Amino acid sequence: MAKKILILNGSPKKDGNTSIMVGWFTDAIKSRAEIEIVNTAFLKYKVNGCISCRKCQKIEKYECCIDDDAKTVLVKMADADVIVFATPLYFFGASAQIKLVFDRMFSLYKWDNDAGTMKTPLKGKTMVVLASAFEDIGLDALEKPFSLTADYTGMKFESVLAANAGTSGEIIQKRPDVRQQLESLGAKIIEV
């Protein structure tokens, strides 16, 4: 059975470095996986991020109680084998378009504080971060929240971080080696 791969593209530019990285990654695996790409910059939200209402903790389902496009994406995350967060570097972090969905992942966890336990449908899945930056600083800071979340959640974690990718679209000339990194990552994910 083909792996289900959900790619969350957090770039507002359809022809930017992040979108190019997503294209290279999907080209490498499209014949061997079921892929869905969600362009998070174009989702419709009722709220900007998690509002900490905690209603999701009081229901049995792993879902957000706010009925908007993010809720649909979260359901898809729970169903995917691999969740890819693709983002440009913005002020040493992920884009706001990714962060809006990432924070709403709170609804995919159930904590029992008295028992000291946590359950999530994300356990055992693979989280991937694809990110690009104009220069060579900041990608480690961007990656950290994702790697910590994957570790906490019991997910496998992979990343391809493209430093010195230049401005929008310049990755093709400045970092053609990234394409090979993404092809290798795709092969690794498909085989696991």
Q: Is 8 exposed, middle or buried (0-12, 13-18, 19+ CB in 10 A)?
A: buried
**Mean pLDDT, to the nearest integer, of 47-72?**
88
Complete edge-to-edge strand list for the sheet that includes strand 82-88: 33-39, 3-9, 82-88, 126-132, 156-162
Q: What is the pLDDT of residue 77?
A: 94
Torsion sign, CA atoms 7, 12, 18, 22: positive
Q: Which two tokens stand for residue 103?
A: 């924070």
Sorted by where each starts, the structural domains of the chain and their CATH numbers stand as: 3-191 (3.40.50.360)
DSSP string, 36-61: EEEEGGG---SSSS-----GGGGSSS
Collect all residues with Cβ–Cβ distance below 8 Å to 96 and sequence separation of at least 6: 90
Phi, psi values for residue 3, rounded to 5°: -70, 145
54-81 as b/e: b if 16+ CB within 10 A: eebeeeeebbbebeebbbebbbebbebb
- Terminal alpha carbon distance of the chain: 13
* Residue 48 clears pLDDT 70, i.e. is over it: yes
Structure tokens at 67: 């009925």
- Phi, psi values for residue 173, rounded to 5°: -90, -40
pTM for the model: 0.93
β-strand pairing of 156-162 with 126-132: parallel
Would you call 35 helix, strand, or coil by DSSP? strand
pLDDT above 80 (res 180): yes
Question: Which pLDDT band, with edges at 50, 70 and 90, does 192 fall under?
Answer: low
Q: Judge whether residue 142 has pLDDT over 70.
A: yes
Rounded percentage of the chain residues whose pLDDT exceeds 90: 63
The CB density around residue 186, as the number of other CB atoms within 10 Å, is 23
